[in-house]
Structure 1
Amino acid sequence: MSDKPRIQAVAFDLDGLMFNTEHVFFLSGDALLQRRGKEMTEEILKGMMGRRAMEGFEHLSSHLHEPEDPHELWVESQEIFHSLLHQHLKPMHGLFELLDYLDELEIPKCVATSSPRAYLEMLLEQFDLTHRFPITLTAEDVTHGKPHPEIYLTAAEKLKVDPKQMLVLEDSEAGTKSGAASGAYVVSIPHEYSDYGDFSAANLVANTLADPVLLALFTDRHA
């Protein structure tokens, strides 16, 4: 686990890794639950993070006094989420610096997210990042959601690298397990909404996308 990998490509998660959407999601999820006399808890959030929308809202529904249709909960949550997005959305620290560094090294990259494609495209367009990710994978592109390894195995195939030569950047327990199960080298970057998770499957745990421990993985990568 400690051996330095020969990184030939990088797969980025989206929510909580590239942007602080988990913060906005927490706010919208809490507002959704408060309408039902409950509040967001660590248990509920942990069961939703890193998973596809319907899987996450099935989990949320199971914690209500009376379970509701996951799709209807998702629609209501999206309305709240988008009302908060403009005010609260920010890129995570070090994102643009890391992207510039990867471009300088000519290391191909992709986004591999459990979120829907329309949502991904909206975020990338908002920060003028669409052209920097010619390869993107979303919930619609896989049969099995994280922590199943399908999305990262597909990412390695699209990037034309062996999974062992691909770096996966994740912020959640489910995503970390997905990357590890694919055989990729996983660096987890937990934040305040995910740091209670189990990151033992990660090869490294970093503080930010600008962490020197992360950047050092690209030094002499062809050695």
Structure 2
Amino acid sequence: MKAVIFDMDGVIVDSETIHIKMKIQALKEYGIECSPKECMAYFGRSSNAFFSDFIKKASADIPLQEIVARKHQLFLQYASDNGAVEPIDGALDLIKELRSKNIPLALASSSVRYNIEWFLKKFGVFDCFDVILSGAELTESKPNPEIYLLAAQKLGIKPQECVVIEDAEAGIKAAKSAACYCIAYCNPAYKDCGQDASAADMRVNSLKDISIEKIMNI
């Protein structure tokens, strides 16, 4: 394999539970109820996809971009004020080690660009990535393969020669549909969230189990 493409939420940033809380809060402000279980079905997908579905279900007259922007505002406020959002154990070391070996890196996240750049800069790895893509700026959301096909294209490397590191079922399906090799990070903290990682080529319970040698010998 010649390149590595990272998802962000749940792979680099331990943020999935916070995203759920902020989605629920944003919906509540607009008079729509939502449970954590309902949110879990949208792991790895964009906020546009999530809120679009809930607005339709509620037959509500809510501007999509308005509620999406409110959710992102709540999320960043929490991340900035709380200080409890941490990197996934082993993620930063893996990114820096890959960069030190001059392995091309891309970031392909469903989050909005501002949030992506905020976290990458906060953790000191922004400059490690050759390509940074936000699914919020694309036509289709994961599990559509668009974001991974575009990441490979921008890296100048065939999708079949890219390793994708994902944690969500939707992201794994997107990576495999793009013909990438997919490593699923199965976070033990989310083992009861109903995410099916069986389509991945490799599954690990810790990012520390992923070595450069293992990636390059795939």
Q: Normalising to structure 1: TM-score of the pair?
A: 0.83
CA distance in 2 between partners of 1:152 and 1:97 (Å): 23
Judge conservation of contact 1:33–1:40 (CA < 8 Å) in 2.
no
Q: Which amino acid aligns with 1:43?
A: E
The unaligned stretches of length 5 or more in structure 1 are 1-6
Distance 1:54 1:184 in 2: 25
Q: Percent identity?
A: 27
2:183 counterpart SS class: strand
- The whole-number CA distance in structure 2 between the counterparts of 1:103 and 1:69 is 41
Structure 2 unaligned regions, length at least 5: none
Distance 1:167 1:98 in 2: 13
- Which stretch of structure 1 is more off in the superposition, 59-68 or 98-107? 59-68
Indicate the SS of the match to 1:186. strand
**Contact 1:17–1:171 under 8 Å retained in 2:** yes
Size of the aligned set, in residue pairs, is 213
Q: Does 1:151 align with 2:147?
A: yes
Q: Aligned to 1:43, which of 30, 38, 43?
A: 38
8 Å contact 1:170–1:188 — kept in the other structure? yes
Aligned CA distance change for structure 1 residues 150 and 63 (closer, same or farther; 3 Å): same
**2:47–2:68 contact (8 Å) kept in structure 1:** yes
TM-score norm. by structure 2 comes to 0.85
The correspondence of residues 1-223 of structure 1 with structure 2, limited to 5 A, is: 7-35=1-29, 36=31, 38-46=33-41, 48-62=42-56, 64=58, 68-86=62-80, 87=82, 88-139=84-135, 142-191=138-187, 192-193=189-190, 195-210=193-208, 212=209, 214-215=210-211, 218-219=213-214, 221=216
Q: Is the 8 A contact 1:50 1:114 kept in 2?
A: yes
Over aligned residue pairs, what C-alpha RMSD do you find?
2.5
What is the alpha-carbon distance in structure 1 between the residues aligned to residue 217 and residue 32 of structure 2? 56
